[in-house]
Amino acid sequence: MTHSRKLLTALVASTILAGPALAQDDDTLKIGLIFTLSGPAAVLGEMGRDGFLLAAEQIGEIGGMKTEIIVVDDEQKPDIAANKARELVERDEVDIVVGPIFSNILGAIQKPVTDSGAILISPNAGTSNYAGADCNRNFFVTSYQNDQMHEVMGAYATEQGYDNVFLLAPNYQAGKDSLAGFKNSYKGGLAGEIFTQLGQLDYSAELAQIAAMQPDAVFAFMPGGMGVNLVKQYRQAGLETIPFLSAFTVDESTLPAQQDAALGFFAGSNWAPDADIPESMAFVEAYEKKYGKVPATYAMQAYDAAHLIDGAIRQAGGVADKDMLIAALEEAPFTSVRGDFSFGPNHYPIQDFYLTKVVQREDGQFATSIVKKIFDDYADNYVADCNMN
């Protein structure tokens, strides 16, 4: 075996064993988690993994079945991710795969997982093609369609009367979706639009252009370490007088490193840790107690994925009948920490979206806070192109 693997049995959730999957009875539910767990973006995958495992620990037997969870690292490399996804469904014979974080990884694993007959649930990546023409009955998303978080900021920029916004995103599918999403709801003009290299950490050239152009606002999609560096360099360049709008750039995965540099910056989101929802408050308290950090959406959406699986399997009476299981998943028989949650006919969520702002909490930690709701029960713009028949 060429890569390390971890095994978790939900019956003994505190015990993690290294080594190959153990032989299990037919009544064992097998779930594979595939997340980015190494490299600069590992914090995102760790939050996804931890959110799911927290829910698994709380539930115990997911769906009322003995549960085996296998965790693998996609290393943020599509070819490696595809191979590991095949191993999960062909060798380990998992019933359900949960992951990934990044959209290019989703593009690599979606076909091998769903072609095998297994169910793939993405707790983060939600590309436009799988929401539309390439939708698949074995594929579900518990996060959003990639455009939507960015549409929040486009709507907000329009509301504020901005007419000259500078756009910045990395050059991969989610980056393209992000700027398309912003433009979907933004009615003003553009000062400039740049796609940077994925993983870029020096933004001096782009910031020099922004300083010269003096746009009404900047909109950026820069997740993980890219966002940490961009926000710090934005402050260091003295550009804080230009409103900074974003999605996945200032959140609980980046704020521990950004801290004061991100204060007051805005973002679009489907949730924030201060959401006044009982299930959300219980989740945040449990996550902070177990992991010692404030959860981001990556953790929340994976936590919801575990509860979705639990509810659907209980409703379907197991995993043997895939048609019954898919029908149960479509009904979303669980209570989301977001409150309102249902699936559209493309298996992407219908949910609320919010404007959030970075604050420093009374305990000194930095977090996003809900400012106001922007979209209510909002479905994505690609659902009409989906035909699963």
177-221: pLDDT as tens digits: 899 999 999 999 999 999 999 989 999 999 999 999 999 999 999
What is the structure's pLDDT at 26?
66
Q: Which amino acid is at 103?
A: S
Domains of the chain by start residue, with CATH: 6-144+277-347 (3.40.50.2300), 147-269+353-384 (3.40.50.2300)
Look over the chain and give the mean of its residue pLDDT values, rounded to a whole number.
92
Percent of the chain surpassing pLDDT 70? 93
Would the pLDDT of 9 be above 80?
no
How many Cβ atoms sit within 10 Å of the Cβ of residue 333? Answer: 16
Give φ, ψ of 301 to 5 degrees. Answer: -70, -35
What's CA 113's distance to the chain center, in Å? Answer: 19
Task: Give the C-alpha separation, 381 to 358, whole Å.
Answer: 28
What is the structure's pLDDT at 177?
85
Of the listed ranges 146-150, 271-275, 342-346, the one predicted with least confidence: 146-150
Of the listed ranges 12-16, 158-162, 331-335, the one predicted with least confidence: 12-16
Partner residues linked to 9 by β-bridges: 68
- 276 CB-near residues (< 8 Å, 6+ apart): none
What is the structure's pLDDT at 41?
85
- Model pLDDT for residues 216-252, shown as the tens digit of each residue: 999 999 988 899 999 999 999 999 999 999 999 999 9
What is the structure's pLDDT at 5?
40
Would the pLDDT of 166 be above 70?
yes
What is the structure's pLDDT at 40?
81
What is the structure's pLDDT at 122?
98
- Residue 172's pLDDT band (cuts 50, 70, 90): confident
Would the pLDDT of 16 be above 50?
no
Reduce the secondary structure of the chain to three states and give it as a string.
CCCCCEEEEHHHCCCEEECCCCCCCCCEEEEEEEECCCCCCHHHHHHHHHHHHHHHHHHCCHHHCEEEEEEEECCCCHHHHHHHHHHHHHHCCCCEEECCCCHHHHHHHHHHHHHCCCEEEECCCCCHHHHCCCCCCCEEECCCCCHHHHHHHHHHHHHCCCCEEEEEEECCHHHHHHHHHHHHHCCCEEEEEEEECCCCCCCHHHHHHHHHHCCCEEEECCCCHHHHHHHHHHHHCCCCCCCEEECCCCCCCCHHHHHHHHCCCEEEECCCCCCCCHHHHHHHHHHHHHHCCCCCHHHHHHHHHHHHHHHHHHHHCCCCCHHHHHHHHHCCCCCECCECCEECCCCCEEEEEEEEEEEECCCCCEEEEEEEEEEEEECCCCHHHCCCC
- Model pLDDT for residues 56-97, shown as the tens digit of each residue: 999 999 999 999 999 999 999 999 999 999 999 999 999 999
Residue 164, CA distances (Å) to 161, 206, 208, 215 in order: 9, 16, 17, 5
Partner residues linked to 109 by β-bridges: none
What is the structure's pLDDT at 24?
42
What is the structure's pLDDT at 97?
98
Task: Give the C-alpha separation, 49 to 40, whole Å.
Answer: 16
Query: Which residue in this structure is represented by tokens 């939708």?
Result: 135
Would the pLDDT of 25 be above 70?
no
* Mean pLDDT in residue range 334-349: 97
- Are the CB atoms for 325 and 319 separated by under 8 Å? yes
What is the structure's pLDDT at 388?
86
Query: Which residue in this structure is represented by tokens 């974080």?
Result: 101
